[in-house]
Amino acid sequence: MDGSAALLVALMSAIPFFEARYAIPAAITLGMPPAEAFVLGFVGNILPVFALLVLLEPVSEWLRVRSAFFERFFTWLFARTRRHSERFEVYGALALIPFVAVPLPVTGAWTASAAAFVFGIRFRYALPTIAAGILIASAVTTLITIGVTGAIL
């Protein structure tokens, strides 16, 4: 496959709710080697996670300062979610692995990044667990796609 196809797979993997779980099967079905589709799907899916984990906090603070609505909303949200101890931060981060790993709609890396933000899970815990979930989801999706396309072809 050419560079534009590779870029397309990586970009499709970065789209919320689409992510690697749909980009990988599309790439393999269109003739991309499974290993290449897997790597591009994983990389494309993990890139937005960095930005989300870094930017959600400052963006929410910016909104809180400029809007009474967002101030009330985030105060309400954090009062209900961030009461937990440091132990929750570590073990709560581990819950992100199966949440991302299950290749179903609305359980991907974007949603997990938002959950990490809402529950106050720090970057150092959230990133590796979300990455592990993406790795598992990408592997499962690739293996299922290879099996299905192999059975059909």
pLDDT in single tens digits along all 153 residues of the chain: 578 889 999 999 999 988 999 999 999 999 999 999 999 999 999 999 999 999 999 999 999 999 999 999 988 888 777 766 555 666 788 989 998 998 777 889 999 999 899 888 999 999 999 999 999 999 999 999 998 766 555
Distance separating alpha carbons of residues 39 and 45, to the nearest angstrom = 10
- Show the domain range for 137: 3-152
Q: How far is CA 136 from CA 63, 91, 139, 140, 149, in A?
A: 35, 19, 5, 6, 20
Count the neighbouring beta carbons within 10 Å of the beta carbon of residue 80: 9
Number of domain units in the chain: 1
Note the Cα 82 to chain centre separation in Å. Answer: 21
pTM for this structure? 0.85
